[in-house]
Amino acid sequence: LRNLDYILSRMDAEEAETFLAGFPEDCSVLILLQLLFRYESASRNGGRTFRFSRHNLLKVHAETNEEQNRRKSKLSDDWIEAIKTVIRSRLKERLKNRLGKVYVDPVMKNYALPLAENTSQGGFGVLSKGSRIPIGEGKKLRAFTYWEKVNDIDLSVFALTEEGRRREFSWRTMARQQSDAITYSGDETSGYNGGSEYFDINLPEFKERYSEYRYLVFCDNVFSRINFDKCFCKAGYMLRDEDDRGEIYEPKTVESAFFVDCESTFAYLFGIDLLKKEFTWLNQARNSNAQVAGNTPLAFLLDYFRVTEIFNVYDFFELIAKEMVENPLDAEIIVTDHETDFADGAEIIREYDFERIRALME
């Protein structure tokens, strides 16, 4: 990626046009998609943010002001648009006509492609990073974490503006911020073979009280400085009626829960777009020994909230289909997250069939 920026930034218009016209036709689909997401998310004015994954752990480096000033490989908006056009053209060439008649449920526009899904958390409901799930009207969200074999794990929430400014809601700030909009339980250790804590967030109230913030990001960190894979930890969420009816809270029985099982003390769980009223799955372990979540940068996570706007499962199968059909009964391949009628011999692909989707990228 840095070589590509370097080469193009040192070419004149004619040289760059020739270079892009001969952009490698044998470039893999996975690399093309990674390049597409990078250039679609490129900051026009600020510094670049580099993300590296090793052994399923994320490292993040944001350019400092000094590094930005030294950099000589800045690309103009025109060149970035030209690169994106070429990448999309190459994707279309590489993927076209790989499948026959395909029906794709429109809801698949909400699901991200599994580009790096050696997932750091597993369990029911885990999706590709950037996938979105609509939230019902007038709901209160309960986000929770539960642990065993360790003294203390902390759940925290960060509100982010569209520019990346943040506000922390955690054990060290909630004493001053408890309200009808957001309530924090503190450690709950009575009645469990371990511990638990949760946040209750009244989404309409929160949006009104903290109107400058658009996104919420939920994080888990092991305060005891033991990696998640050395203890037992579940995290997840449930939706509750605004007028709580006193239902018993039992975190181990919530269906929308997943294991946090990574060689790190810190993980990003999921986010909420308050404007669109949608969950966004993050499912990302950070290569960190952070004991407190508020000591790590978060602004780079904003890119995950628009992943499906750039390219999604629907877009992928639309490119790969020889023919798109409107009736599942006419299809040889059906891509949906619903139960549906289908013809004998048809293949059903679900949003969680990561290996099957990745195989189609080869």
14-23, 111-120, 281-290: the lowest-pLDDT one:
111-120
Please give the pLDDT value at position 290.
66
Residue range 93-106: mean pLDDT, rounded: 93
Nearest residue to 349 via CA among 186, 41, 2, 108 = 108
High-pLDDT (> 90) share of the chain, %: 33
pLDDT at residue 220 greater than cutoff 80: yes
Please give the pLDDT value at position 49.
74
Residue 115's CB: how many other CB atoms inside 10 A?
18
Q: What is the DSSP string of 161-188?
A: -TTS-EEEESTTTGGGT-SSSEEE---B
* Banded pLDDT at 223 (limits 50, 70, 90): confident
pLDDT at residue 118 greater than cutoff 60: no
Please give the pLDDT value at position 208.
93
Q: How many CA atoms lie within 13 A of 250 on its CB side?
A: 6
Mean pLDDT estimate for the chain:
84
Residue range 162-172: mean pLDDT, rounded: 91
Q: In what order do the strands lie in the sheet with 347-349?
A: 321-324, 99-104, 333-335, 347-349
pLDDT at residue 104 greater than cutoff 60: yes
Please give the pLDDT value at position 2.
64
pLDDT at residue 160 greater than cutoff 90: yes
Please give the pLDDT value at position 334.
96
pLDDT digits (tens, 9 = 90+) for 253-267: 565 678 888 888 888
Q: Give the residue with greater pLDDT, 189 vs 105.
A: 105
* Banded pLDDT at 297 (limits 50, 70, 90): confident
Please give the pLDDT value at position 120.
45
Please give the pLDDT value at position 34.
87
Compute the distance between CA of residue 87 and CA of residue 36 in angstroms, rounded to an integer. 6
Please give the pLDDT value at position 294.
67
Q: Report, in this order, helix, strand and coil percent for the chain, each rounded to 5.
A: 30, 30, 40
Nearest residue to 239 via CA among 269, 210, 276, 203 = 203
Please give the pLDDT value at position 139.
73
Please give the pLDDT value at position 361.
87
Please give the pLDDT value at position 119.
41
Beta bridge partners of 159: 167, 216
